[in-house]
Amino acid sequence: MHTGVDEDGFIHSQTVTPGNVRDSQERDHLLLRDESALYADAAYSSQDTRDKLKEHGIGDQVQRKGYRNNPLSEADKIRNAEIAVTRGGGERPFATYKWHFKLARTRLMGLAKNTTLFGLAAMAANIKKGAVFLGLYGLPN
């Protein structure tokens, strides 16, 4: 499951793939291309990602990762810690799926069925979050 979330935590895009598909392979499916910045974990850290973000004018807030014989610098460790605060909001939908909808694992056979199930879960999560926002902020004028 790969999920794109906006700054308020609403799910705007989602893909369901086999387990052998890396997160970075789904990056282009999750970007709306109107984002001001991409906050993502180190799985998305690559020169290709940085080039794509620059091409679309999207700020690079992707966590850096170390490589063999090239560990993370102290500056990158500090940068990752600062990014983690905001990036953590992108993990909330997975917590919602696991705790509220009991979807810690896929329950069905086949991508189409699981895409439908997690699509419904995403809609329910957005409705739940929308109800909270409505209670906190009311209707816009």
**Within a domain: 1:** no
Count Cβ neighbours within 10 Å for each residue of 115-135 and write b for 16 or more, e otherwise. Answer: bebbeebbeebbeebeeeeee
Whether residue 55 is contained in a domain is answered as yes
Domain tally, the chain: 1
Q: Residue 89's pLDDT is what?
A: 83
User: Is residue 132 assigned to a domain?
Assistant: yes
pLDDT bucket at 31, cuts 50 / 70 / 90: confident
Residue 123 sits in which domain range?
6-137
The pLDDT tens digits for 67-118 are 889 899 999 999 999 999 888 888 888 999 999 999 988 888 999 999 999 9
pTM, 2 dp: 0.82
Residue 97 forms part of a structural domain: yes
pLDDT score of 139: 85
Residue 113 lies in a domain: yes
Is 141's pLDDT higher than 80?
Answer: no
Question: Does 86 fall in a domain?
Answer: yes
CA 116 to chain CA centroid, Å, is 18
Helix axes 92-99, 111-137, angle to 10 degrees: 110
What ranges in the chain are assigned the alpha helix state H?
A: 27-30, 47-55, 74-87, 92-99, 111-137
For residue range 115-139, what is the model confidence (pLDDT) as tens digits? 999 999 999 999 999 999 999 998 8
Residue 77 located in a structural domain: yes
